[in-house]
Amino acid sequence: MGATDAAPPTASTALREATFAGLIAAGLSFPILALGTEIDFSNRLVLEQRWSWLVIAAALVFVGRLCALLLIDWRARFIAVPGTFPLVGGAALAAMTGAAGLSDGLVWMAIGAVLIVAGFALDRRLAARGAATASVPAPRATNPLFGKVLPSAGVIGLFLFPLIMLWLLGPAGSLKWINNYGIQILIFVMLGWGLNIVVGLAGLLDLGYVAFYAVGAYAYALLSTQFGLSFWLCLPLAGLFAALWGLMLGFPVLRLRGDYLAIVTLAFGEIIGAVLTNWTDLTNGKAGIMSIPRITFFGLPFTSGEGGFASTFGLEFSAIHRTIFLFYLILCLALLTNFVTIRLRRMPVGRAWEALREDEIACRSLGINTTNTKLTAFALGAMFGGFAGSFFAVRQGFVNPDSFTFLESATILAVVVLGGMGSQIGVALAAIVMVGGTEILRELAFLKSIFGNSFDPALYRMLIFGFAMVVMMIWRPRGLISGRSPSVALRSRKTVSGALVNEGHG
Amino acid sequence: MADPGPAADRQPLQRWTRDPLLVVEHLTMRFGGLVAVNDLSFQVGRGDITALIGPNGAGKTTVFNCVTGFYKPSQGRLALAREGRALPQDVAALTRTGRAHQRFPDGDLYLLERMRDFEITRHARVARTFQNIRLFPGMTVLENLIVAQHNALMRASGMSFLGLIGWPAYRAREKEAIDKAASWLERIGLIDRADDPAGALPYGAQRRLEIARAMCTDPVLLCLDEPAAGLNPRESAELNVLLRLIRDREGTSILLIEHDMSVVMQISDHVVVLDYGTRIADGTPEEVRNDPRVIGAYLGVEDEEELIQVEAEIAEVSS
C-alpha cells in the first residue's frame, strides 16, 4: 500500500488479496455489526441479527481494497476509494428497500461508479505522464499553503462564517451551524492550542488538561453566582486561577518524565473531578451550578426587553445575536492563544521549551533553568485552558463535573497529536476533523433508510475515531502537519522534517 | 599569541600552579560501593588547554560531570575563579561561609560542588560538550546557537514579557545574538547550513557545532568530552585549529578528555593522567609522554613487546 510499490499487482493477485481483506473485515465486524441487542415492546432484551450489515462492511472493504491495489498513484486512490461508499451503499439501498428506494440507490451507485472510473482514468493519465518525465522530488521549502495562505484565508473565513450562515439559512437555520459547529469546534481549537504549548512545544505529556478547563469554568461559575462579578472580570481571574493550578501541578511533577509524568497528570485530572463531585458545599456536587449569568454585550444583556442588545441597536430580537457574539468571543480568545504562542515561540522562553523537548540535558548544560521552563509551559497552557473554561461556563449557563471527564482530556490530546505536535494550523485542522466529524455523524440520518430506523450513526463515533487513529498512525504517524517551522532564520526559512524533531520525553 | 609551545612556558612554576582557574581538591565520587574517582587533586591553568587522559573507565567523564554539576561529588572541593586567581586563602574563606559564591578584589570565586548544573554554566561560566553529541536535532543550526544565549536574551526580553509586545531593545539584542551565532558559524565553516536542521548535519559538523554552541554561552572554561571521537584525520586537524583559536583569540581555557593522542600531544599545555580514579601523572605533554607509568598504565599494556610498539606509535605522532 505504500509508495514503494514498484509495479501494480496483476488483476488476479489483486482480486485474491481484496477477497482476503473482505473476509477479514467480515470476521472482525461479525461481533460488532452482525449481532445487536434490541429492546422489544415488552421491554425485553432480544438478540437481533443483522447479516446485511456484515455483507455491506465486507463489500466496502473488498471494493475499496481492490481499487487501492489496482491504482498506483495516491491521488487516483484518493478519488476512487471514497467512491466505494456510494457504490456499495447505493447497492444496499436498492437491494433492501425494494421499489421505494430503487431510484435513490441507483443514483448513489452511479455517483460511486463515476468516482471509481474517474480514479482509474486519472491513474492511467498520471502513469503515462510519470513514464515521460522521471519525477525528481523537489527540495522542501516551507509550504506557502500552510505558511501564509491557509491561515489568513481561514481567519477571514471564520470572521465571515456567522454572517454567511445567517444570510444563507436565516436565524433559525443557522443557529445549529454557528453553535454546534462553529463554537464547539473553536473551543477545541483553543484547548488544543493551549495544550500544544505543554505537549507540542515543551514535550511534556499532559493527560489531565481538562482539570484546568474545569478550574476556569468553576472559577467563573462561582465568582459570578457568589460574588456577582462580571464575565469580563472573571475571564482574567479564571486564567490566573488555572495558571496557579498549573504551577501547583508543575511543582511535584517536575522530577518525573515520560510515562510517570503522564500518569501523574492523569491522576491530577481525576482528582479535580473528584473534588468537584464531592465538595458539595462549594460546588453543589453532581447537581452542578445552575443559572450562571449569561454573556452580555459589554453590559447590554441579550434580552428581548427594553435596554437589551436588540432594542439598543434597533434590531429585531433574536436568540442568534447571543450565539453570534459567543462565536466572535471564542474566536478572539482562540486567536489570542494562537498569537501569544506564535510570538512566544520566537522569544527565549519559547525556544527553551522546544530545546527542552529536544534534549533536556543539553538544555541544562547551556545554563537553562529547566524547572522554570517547564513551569512556565504548564502555567501558560493552563491559563488558556482556564480562559476556555470560563467561556464554556458562560456559554452553557450551567456547569457540573460531567463536562470535565477524562474523555475530554483525551479528545484534546488527540487533537494535538492528530494535528502534528507543535503545529498551530495542524491542531486547528485536527479540531475541525475531530469535533466537526462527530457533529457530521448526526447529519447522516439518511443512513437510516439503509440500516433501519434504529440505526444511530452518532453511536459509531468512537469506532470511527479508533479507525481514523489507526489510519493516521499508518499514513501520517507524526500528525497532519508534521514539519516544524524554525523560529528564526539567517537566510531562508526551511521546514524541518518531522523525522528529525523529537517528541519529548516528558 | 604566537603559540609559544609548552617549552617556552617552563618557568619555576607552571601556569596551572601560578595562575589556576580551577582548583580540584580531594575530589571523590562514589556510586554505591564503586569508587569512580578517588581523592583526585589537580589544577587547570588560566589560558591553558588541559587534557584529562586515561584508559577507559578511569573516571574521566565522572570528573567532568562533577565539574559541570551533573553529579554531586561525594567529597572534595572544586574552586573556580571566574576572574583573577583562585588563591588558597580566598577559597578557604569562601568554604567557611557555606555559600557557593563570593566576590573578592580579584574577581568572582565559585565553589562548583555547591551549585546546580545550570547555575554553573550561567554564573561560573563553565560550558561543556558531551561524548555522545547532544544537539537539538529538530532545531536549525542557527537556533541551536541562539538557544545557547538563552540567559542573555531572557534578560533583554524582560523574561519574555517585554519581548511579547515587541520591545525594541529585545529586537536589537536578538539581532546581536544572531550576529554572534553567524560569526561562530563562519569560524566552524557551517554558515551555509545555518537554516538546516542540526540533526541533518554530518557527524564531524555536529561535533564542531556542539563546540560552537557551548562557546555561545561565553564560558571561561570549556569542557570537551572526547571532541575528536569519530573524526577523520582532516577533521581532527581542523579541530586542533579551532581549539587553539578558542584558547588564543577568545581567551577561554579548555579542559578536554581525549583518546586521540595526536590531538592531546599537539595542542595541550598540560596533561593530567588518571587511572582507576586516581592521578598517576601530571605535567607537560613531554613529561607525561616519557613517564613509564603512564605508558604502562594508561595504555593498559603489561608485556614489553606491546609497549615498544605503542612507544613507536607515539614517537611517530609527535614527530
Provide the number of CB pairs (under 8 Å) joining chain A to chain B: 137
Domain ranges of chain A: 11-132, 144-443
Q: What is the mean pLDDT of each run of 10 residues along chain A (506 residues)?
A: 52 86 87 79 82 86 86 80 85 77 82 86 78 46 59 86 86 84 94 95 92 96 92 94 92 82 90 92 89 86 82 83 92 95 91 94 94 93 96 93 92 90 88 86 73 74 79 81 85 82 71
- Residue A316, pLDDT score: 81
Output the nine-digit C-alpha cell for B239.
579541530
State whether B195 and A347 contact (CB < 8 Å): no
Residue A393 to residue A217: CA distance in whole angstroms: 5
Instruction: Count H helices and E strands in chain A, helices first.
Output: 21, 4
A505 touches chain B (CB under 8 A): no
User: Given an 8 Å threshold on Cβ–Cβ distance, is A350 in contact with B160?
Assistant: yes
Residue B297 has pLDDT above 60, yes or no: yes
- When CB atoms are compared, the residue of B68, B195, B214 closest to A493 is B195
Cβ-based contacts of A369 with chain B (< 8 Å):
118, 122
CA distance linking residue A291 with residue A213, whole number of Å: 19
Q: What is the pLDDT of residue B302?
A: 59
Q: Do B143 and A486 touch (CB under 8 A)?
A: yes
Quickly state the pLDDT bin for B89 (edges 50, 70, 90).
confident
CB contact under 8 A, B154 and A484: no
| CA-based nearest distance A22→chain B, Å | 41
The answer to whether the CB atoms of B160 and A497 lie below 8 A apart is no
Nearest to B138 among A368, A491, A500 (CB): A500
Sort out which chain A residues have CB atoms less than 8 A from B197's CB and list them: 496-497, 500
Residue at A483: amino acid letter:
G
Q: In this predicted structure, what is the pLDDT of residue A505?
A: 62
The pLDDT, as a whole number, for residue A7 is: 56
pLDDT of residue B298: 62
CA dist., res. B72 & res. A67, Å (int)? 63
The closest of B176, B214, B144, B209 to A487, measured between CA atoms, is B144
pLDDT the model gives residue B307: 67
pLDDT tens across B113-155, in order?
Answer: 999 999 999 999 999 999 999 999 999 999 999 999 999 998 8
Question: Which of A347, A373, A487, A502 is the mutation pick for testing B, counting most B CBs within 10 A?
Answer: A347
Q: What is the maximal distance between C-alpha atoms in chain A? A: 77
Residues 6+ apart with CB under 8 A from A459: none
A312 at B interface, C-beta within 8 A: no
State the CATH architecture for B134-217.
Answer: 3-Layer(aba) Sandwich (3.40)
Bridge partners (DSSP) of residue B28 are B75
Give the residue range(s) of CATH 3.40.50.300 domains in chain B: 5-125+219-318, 134-217
Burial of B206-221, coded b for 16+ CB within 10 Å and e otherwise, reads bbbbbbbbbbbbbbbb
CB-CB under 8 Å, A502 with B142: no
pLDDT band (50, 70, 90) for residue B8: very low
CB-based contact A76:A122 (threshold 8 Å): yes
Query: pLDDT value at position A130?
Result: 65
Q: Sign of dihedral through CA atoms B123, B129, B130, B133?
A: positive
The pLDDT score that the predictor gives to residue A45 is: 82
**Considering only CB atoms, which chain B residues are within 8 Å of A351?**
139, 143, 146-147, 150
**Which of 3.30.470.20, 3.40.50.150, 3.40.50.300, 3.40.50.920 is the CATH number of B5-125+219-318?**
3.40.50.300
Whether the CB of A361 is below 8 Å from some CB of chain B: the reply is yes
State percent of chain B over pLDDT 90: 55
Pairing mode, if any, of strands B49-53 and B253-257?
A: parallel
User: Is residue A497 helix, strand or coil?
Assistant: coil
C-alpha cell at A197: 504549548
User: Per the CB < 8 Å rule, is A368 touching B151?
Assistant: yes
- Residue A353: CB partners within 8 Å, gap ≥ 6? A197, A201, A202, A203, A373, A376, A377
Q: Assign domain A144-443 to a CATH class.
A: mainly alpha
**d(C-alpha B80, C-alpha B69), whole Å:** 13
Residue of chain B whose Cα is closest to the Cα of A353: B147
- Give the model's pLDDT for residue A138: 40
Residue contact B147–A370, C-beta within 8 A: no
Q: Looking at residue A147, what is its pLDDT? A: 60
The pLDDT assigned to A146 comes to 56
pLDDT at residue B117, rounded to an integer: 92
Residue in chain B lying closest to A343 (CA): B164
Q: pLDDT, tens digit, for every residue of B199-225?
A: 999 999 999 999 999 999 999 999 999
Longest dimension (CA), chain B: 72
Cell of B232: 577523520
Which DSSP letter does residue B197 get?
B
Report residue A474 as a C-alpha cell: 499508518
